[in-house]
């Protein structure tokens, strides 16, 4: 009798384990995590400098800026949109912040001014997409040029230098050995996780990306939430721009070029569906780390920056192809 009961308990336990395993395998961010582990192991064998403390710190600081931008990009993509303006917003916010400080504005107010610039640009893009019903790729493609042009006019094409020493803490400082950009990144991700997973806002974002018309018919204020995600994207781009200006101790209008591609790559590599409605912020940080490890490893191997761009583009295509294949199997 005891043997029969023991067998049934073991069978039930195995069934629970198999169900848990199947549920985990359905989560795209788990595949991203496995990919990160495999990539890291590969880089350890490729270069003996990869696993050094200095290199790990360097990777962490490098990914923080892209990872923060990728948070806002995640919100936008989850609604089925895209934001190509983040690199230009980053440049304009950083230069405005630097320019205000050079003019004697206190550091905290200058930072607030730079962030406000990002929020305003995000609001303009969101208004055109949500209320103007214009395609997000067209709107943000235009907004990719406008802020960059304003930044170039504002700076006359020259870096804005002579920033106060206390401003360096944001991009170069540390708290108990942890670099400030990493702390800022962690705070942004915690807030994003709460917003997407614990608050109604997140449910509405997923609903809009899954089926916008159904979300509208269910009473969700679709235009309001679509506007909000572009504001969030502008905010995160502005934060990254300010961190970059602090690291360089100058405001540069040519900063952030190509960062929109890196942000999209991090989101897609993290398992978020490019068509919207599916994804997780945890996957985005995994994707950002994966991209940082890849860039660092290729640099250690001496791979040409031009070839790195090709590799990055191929990886994005493969990630989107895998995501599309998975969605077709589910439907």
In tens, the pLDDT along 41-74 reads: 888 888 778 878 888 888 888 899 999 999 999 9
CB 72 within 8 A of CB 121: no
Over the chain (331 residues), the average pLDDT of each successive run of 10 is 52 54 60 82 83 82 91 95 94 95 94 96 95 93 93 91 92 87 94 92 92 90 94 96 93 88 89 85 91 86 84 79 64 53
Count CB atoms within 10 A of the CB of residue 173: 15
Q: Which residue has the tokens 């974002």?
A: 205
- Residue 323 is predicted with a pLDDT of 67
**DSSP single-letter state for residue 133:** -
| Residue 175 DSSP code | E
When computed from its CA atoms, the radius of gyration of the chain, rounded to whole angstroms, is: 22
Confidence (pLDDT) at 15? 58
Q: How many CA atoms lie within 13 A of 323 on its CB side?
A: 23
| 105: helix, strand or coil | coil
Helices 259-269 and 53-78 sit at what angle, rounded to 10 degrees? 80
Q: Which residues of 45-76 are buried (b: 16+ CB within 10 A; e: fewer)?
A: eebeebeeeebeeebbbbbbbbbbbbbbbbbb
**Cβ contact 283:29 at 8 Å:** yes
The closest of 237, 214, 215 to 224, measured between CA atoms, is 215
Coil, strand or helix at 160:
strand
Query: Angle 131-134-137 (CA atoms, 0-180°, nearest 5)?
Result: 130
Measured CA to CA, the distance from residue 167 to residue 79 in angstroms comes to: 35
Write phi, then psi, for 174 (nearest 5 degrees).
-150, 160
68 and 236 Cβ atoms separated by less than 8 Å: yes
pLDDT at 58: 81
Give the Cβ contact number of residue 27 at 10 Å: 14
What are the residues whose beta carbons fall under 8 Å from the beta carbon of 272, sequence distance 6 or more? 28, 74, 77, 78, 278, 279, 280, 283, 284
The topology under which CATH files domain 26-330 is: ABC transporter involved in vitamin B12 uptake, BtuC (1.10.3470)
Give the pLDDT score at 9: 47
CA distance 64 to 62: 6
Q: Which residues make Cβ contacts (< 8 Å) with residue 81, sequence separation at least 6?
A: 129, 136, 226, 229, 230, 276
């Amino acid at each position: 009798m005891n043997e029969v009961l023991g067998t049934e308990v073991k069978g039930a336990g195995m069934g629970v384990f198999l169900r848990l395993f199947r549920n985990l395998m359905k989560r795209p961010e788990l595949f991203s995590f496995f990919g990160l582990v495999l990539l890291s192991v590969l880089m350890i064998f490729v270069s003996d400098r990869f696993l050094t403390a200095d290199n790990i710190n360097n990777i962490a600081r490098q990914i923080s800026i892209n990872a923060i931008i990728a948070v806002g990009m995640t919100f936008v993509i989850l609604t089925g949109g895209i934001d190509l303006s983040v690199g230009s917003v980053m440049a304009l916010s950083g230069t405005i912040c630097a320019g205000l400080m050079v003019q004697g504005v206190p550091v905290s107010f200058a930072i607030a001014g730079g962030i406000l610039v990002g929020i305003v640009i995000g609001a303009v893009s969101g208004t055109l997409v949500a209320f103007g019903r214009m395609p997000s790729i067209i709107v943000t493609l235009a907004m990719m040029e406008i802020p960059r042009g304003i930044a170039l006019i504002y700076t006359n094409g020259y870096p804005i230098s002579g920033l106060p020493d206390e401003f360096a803490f944001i991009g170069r400082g540390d708290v108990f050995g942890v670099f400030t950009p990493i702390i800022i990144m962690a705070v942004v991700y915690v807030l994003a996780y709460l917003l997407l997973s614990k608050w109604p806002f997140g449910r509405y974002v997923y609903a809009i990306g899954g089926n916008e018309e159904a979300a509208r018919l269910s009473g969700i204020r679709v235009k309001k939430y679509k506007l909000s995600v572009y504001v969030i994207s502008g905010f995160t781009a502005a934060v990254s721009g300010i961190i970059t200006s602090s690291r360089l101790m100058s405001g540069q209008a040519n900063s952030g070029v190509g960062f929109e591609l890196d942000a999209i790559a991090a989101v897609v590599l993290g398992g978020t569906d490019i068509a919207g409605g599916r994804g997780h912020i945890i996957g985005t940080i995994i994707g950002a780390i994966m991209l940082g490890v890849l860039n660092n490893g290729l640099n250690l191997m001496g791979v040409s920056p031009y070839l790195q761009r090709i590799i990055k583009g191929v990886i994005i295509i493969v990630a989107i192809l895998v995501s599309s294949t998975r969605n077709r199997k589910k439907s």
